[in-house]
Structures are given as structure tokens and as C-alpha cells.
Amino acid sequence: MSNKINTIGIPSEEEIKKAQIDFSPRCTAAGRVNDKETQKMVEYILNFARKHSLFVLAYGTGCGAIEIPATMTSRYDAERFGIRGAATPRQADVLLITGYLSTKTLKRVIRVYEQMQDPKYVIAFGSCTINGGMYFDSYNTIKALDRYLPVDVYIAGCMPRPESVIKGFIKLQELIQNGNAGNGECYRDNLDWYRTNQQKIIKNWDFPDEYNW
């Protein structure tokens, strides 16, 4: 096989791994072994607590924010999983990217993400964050979010319905329990790589030089 990735049909597992390494070499949390035996007991209990109290930053971009009221209110009632809103980035655990991001919004989102306290998680909604979706040829929206921010869970769809949103959250809870979620530390360690990518598309860069938030 040539080294061109998945030209026909669905890629095999090796090809996916290779593509992930090529494409997003940083902050793929999967692979950390952290099950009950190897994990410290304190970590285990902390993770258990974290997974049942996910404070979601009340922030929405793109079309997907419209699914959030439906997910939170009585019909789907996300609060039974411990998911609820938080008013400011510093109080929040989860950042939802609910759709396409223009470069202008991306700048604000990065700022918000950096202000959040560890442990912090990112859930990205919809095909726009995965591969550009119907904005694939737009001059002003990014096409692959994990180049600019570490993403824990992607939810496919255009737009995903509240059922899928809840499924995404449950997946995140699973990852948290296994100790595989939360890339804040990794983001800090690989800041250079992320900064290079971010600065390539954000033209009027005026962030502080040092990691000082």
C-alpha cells in the first residue's frame, strides 16, 4: 500500500493510528493505563466524583448551541447525569464547541480554554469541528479543531440530536473514570506546537507571550 491514507473506503485500524499520528500527534489521551488496579485509590475516587459533576460552560458557537436547551431541560434532563451549567470559565469543567468556528471565534475560544482550571475537558459537536462540514470551503472557518485545542470527545452529526449529545457525555464520563480524559497538562506541555498552529491562522495575535494565566 502507498503511504496515502485511506483512499478507498473506511481505513483500517493501523491506518487510523497512522493518520492520527500524522495529523494530531499531541494530546491523544488514549493509552494512559489507569484502571482500578494501577491507579492510586485517591485518583480513582477523585475521578468518580469528577465524572458525576460536570459543569459545562454556558457558551455556544455555530448552530449547535440550539441543542443545549433541549438537552438540559425536562425532556432529556441532562442533570440526572450530573451535567449542569456554569457561568464563567474558571468555574467550568467542560467546554462545548457547538459547531463551526470562525478564526475570530477561535481566538476567543482559546482564551476561554486557557482560563479554565484543570481538569478540563473539551467536547466538539458536529461535522464542522471534525472536518469542516458544509463550511469546507469557507475562507474564515477552521476545519479540524484538534489542531488548535485538545479535544476529548467528538460527536458526529449535523447537528447531533440531544440523544447523541448525552451519549457523548457518557463517553466522556467513561474516559474520565478510566483516567483518559483531560488534556490540560498535555496542552501546556505541547504549547509550542499548538501556538504555531494557532498563530498560523490568527493574524492579529495579541496573546501574552508566556503561559501566565
Partner 1 sequence: MDLIHNLKEVFEIDAKIKNDFQIEVEAKKELVSSILLYLKNQHGFIHLDHMSCVDWIEDEVFELVYIVWNPNTKKTVLLHTKIDRNKPEMENIDTIWDQANTYEREFREMYGIEFPGLVAEREFILEGWTEMPPMRRDFDTKKYAEETYATRPGRENAEDVREKIIKRTGEEIPDFAKKYSRD
Pick from 39, 71, 98, 141 the residue near partner 1 by CB under 8 A: 141
Residues 81-120 that bind ligand SF4 (CB under 6 A): 99-100
HEC-encoded secondary structure of 175-209:
HHHCCCCCCHHHHHHCHHHHHHHHHHHCCCCCCCC
Pick from 45, 111, 134, 140 the residue near ligand SF4 by CB under 6 A: 134
Should residue 164 be labelled a site residue for partner 1 when binding is judged by CB under 8 A? no
Q: Nearest Cα to 65, choosing from 48, 85, 47, 50?
A: 85
Pick from 158, 186, 191, 201 the residue near ligand SF4 by CB under 6 A: 158
Query: Stretches 80-88, 112-120, 188-196, 198-206: which one binds partner 1 (CB under 8 A)?
Result: 198-206
Query: Stretches 22-30, 57-65, 74-82, 200-208: which one binds ligand SF4 (CB under 6 A)?
Result: 57-65
Should residue 131 be labelled a site residue for partner 1 when binding is judged by CB under 8 A? yes
Pick from 2, 13, 192, 210 the residue near partner 1 by CB under 8 A: 13
SS3 content of the chain, % helix, strand, coil (to 5): 45, 10, 45
- Say if CB 94 and CB 56 are below 8 A apart: yes
- Say if CB 108 and CB 39 are below 8 A apart: no
Which cell goes with 177? 473514570
How many angstroms separate the CA atoms of 27 and 48, rounded?
22
Binding residues vs ligand SF4 (CB under 6 A): 62-64, 99-100, 126-128, 133-134, 158-159
Give contact residues for partner 1 (rule: CB under 8 A): 5-10, 13, 19, 23, 103-104, 107, 130-132, 136-144, 147, 197, 200-204
